[in-house]
Amino acid sequence: MATLDANAKQTGAALTPERKPGFKRGINGPWLIFILLVPSLVLLIGIIFYPVFNTILLSFQSLNLAIPFLNHWVGLANYGKILTNPLFDFWHSVEFSALFSILSTVIAFLIGFAFALLLNQRLRFQLLWRGLALVPWVIPYVVVAYLFFYMFNSQYGIINHVLTSIDLFGWRPFPQPLPWFGGDGHLAVIATIFAAIWNKFPFFTLMLLAGLQTVPQELVDAATVDGAGVWSRLWNVTIPQLRGIIVITTTLQFIWSLNEFAIIWAMTNGGPGNATNNIVINIYRTGFLNESISYAATIGVLWLLILLVFTYFYIRVMEGNTATR
């Protein structure tokens, strides 16, 4: 995770580290570098770059696995269809992917941060609380999905049971059980995001807790002496100190959420209708359930382009931030 840090914060500096051990001389230097890089290069080229290139080629063809012998070049026809025909649900699935990722990342971050701040206090049984808080992160996605699918069940689910029994002096906000996975699908959207948040927040807790330990105590003390309250210390001392780690963790989680498949698919299969049809599910349905590989490839390439544009602007913004700091 270190990882994104540097490039996010200061691309130039990170990519040309100054620290160099005494390896500069010696004839086997370049060869050693090469040999150590070979396994990664082979894998990167063989199972990432070649397939992506091949996917781009497929997007200009008409490959359907049911009738593979009819495959031929179609130019940009697929792109026209995907972008204009609402049957492909392209724009909606982009929208849902963005909504899902933004909401689940932001809320999971807030919960994870709150947890980290609390667990960073002196508490009794601290280790136990920390262990419990981190459990959701190590529960497999499919398990998370079915667990929440069961808890959100409209007839005998525990969540509906709790909601319908809320009774505030005669005011009952949910008199009827909610049809979580039916209706227009809005509730299904909430249910999937809810499950994702529960699974993701411990990642933030883990990372931010580690970050909090590096905040210099003198800074906090100094702020206290200056009369800063809890919120002021949090806002003016702690958060600026954690800036780097906050940027990295939220970015990573956001990217991972854009690729989310397991939790949503296992809970809703993208339904009801297309309500929870994110871009990955859209591609899976198009390419593998309907066997229209070339349409799926086209959606994939468009999605790749959107992400690259997003990444470009993201790096620009990050570099701008660093420059002005």
Partner 1 sequence: MSKDISQPLDLAISAPDTGEARRNGKRPISIKRVVLYLILAVLLIYAFFPTFWMLSTSIKPQLEAFQDPPTWWPHNPTLHSYQILFADQQGFLTYFKNSLIVGIFTTLLTLLAATPAGYVLSRFRFRGARALLLVILATQMFPYVTILISLYTLFRQLGMLNTYPALVLSFTTFSLPFSIWMMKGFCDTMPTDLEDAARVDGLGRLGVLWKIVMPIIIPGVIAVGFFAFLNSWNELLYALTLTSSPDMRLIPPGFVLTYIGEFQDRWPDLMAASTVVSLPIVVLFTIFQKQLVSGLTAGAVKG
Interface of this chain with partner 1, residues 37 to 66, rule: CB under 8 A: 37, 39-40, 43-44, 47-48, 50-52, 54-55, 58, 63
Give the residue with the Cβ less far from partner 1, 5 or 92: 5
Instruction: Write each residue from 2 to 41 as x if it is in contact with partner 1 (CB under 8 A), else as -, in one continuous string.
Output: xxxxxx-x-----xxx-xxxxx--x-xxx-xx--xx-xx-
How many CB atoms within 10 Å of residue 296? 26
Amino acid sitting at position 181: F
CA 58 to chain centre: 27
Instruction: Write each residue from 170 to 209 as x if it is in contact with partner 1 (CB under 8 A), else as -, in one continuous string.
Output: ----------------------------x--xx---xx-x
Applying CB under 8 A, which part among 78-86, 99-107, 166-174, 217-225 lies near partner 1?
A: 217-225
User: Nearest 10 degrees: CA dihedral of 126, 205, 211, 1?
Assistant: 130
Binding of partner 1 by 115 (CB under 8 A): yes
3-class DSSP assignment, residue 237: helix
C-alpha torsion sign, points 181, 182, 187, 188? positive
Q: Considering only residues 108, 191, 275, 301, which one is a binding residue for partner 1 as defined by CB under 8 A?
A: 301
Q: Residue 288 CB, nearest distance to partner 1 (Å)? A: 6
Q: Residue 15 CB, nearest distance to partner 1 (Å)? A: 5
Q: Considering only residues 92, 129, 250, 322, which one is a binding residue for partner 1 as defined by CB under 8 A?
A: 129
Total residues at the site for partner 1 (CB under 8 A)? 123
Applying CB under 8 A, which part among 78-86, 88-96, 185-193, 255-263 lies near partner 1?
A: 255-263
Q: Quick one: tokens of 87?
A: 């049957």
Q: Residue 25 CB, nearest distance to partner 1 (Å)? A: 10
* Residue 183 φ/ψ region, left for φ over 0, alpha for ψ in the -120 to 50 degree band, beta for the rest: left
CA 209/CA 214 separation, integer angstroms: 9
Give the residue with the Cβ less far from partner 1, 26 or 80: 26
Spatial CA neighbour of 296 closest among 86, 90, 72: 90
CA 314/CA 321 separation, integer angstroms: 11
Instruction: Write each residue from 222 to 251 as x if it is in contact with partner 1 (CB under 8 A), else as -, in one continuous string.
Output: --x-----x--xx--xx-----xx--xx--
Q: Quick one: tokens of 114?
A: 């709150």
Instruction: Write each residue from 256 to 295 as x if it is in contact with partner 1 (CB under 8 A), else as -, in one continuous string.
Output: --xx-xx--xx------------xx--xx--xx----x--
Give the residue with the Cβ less far from partner 1, 84 or 311: 311
Give the residue with the Cβ less far from partner 1, 83 or 134: 134
CA separation, residue 178 to residues 5, 72, 172, 174, 311 (Å) = 43, 49, 13, 8, 39
Scanning the structure block, which residue is given the tokens 């996010």?
A: 8
Q: Residue 48 CB, nearest distance to partner 1 (Å)? A: 5
Q: Residue 99 CB, nearest distance to partner 1 (Å)? A: 17
Binding of partner 1 by 319 (CB under 8 A): no
Q: Considering only residues 147, 183, 274, 319, which one is a binding residue for partner 1 as defined by CB under 8 A?
A: 147
Q: Are 74 and 57 in contact (CB under 8 A)?
A: no
CA 25/CA 141 separation, integer angstroms: 49
Spatial CA neighbour of 161 closest among 169, 151, 171: 151
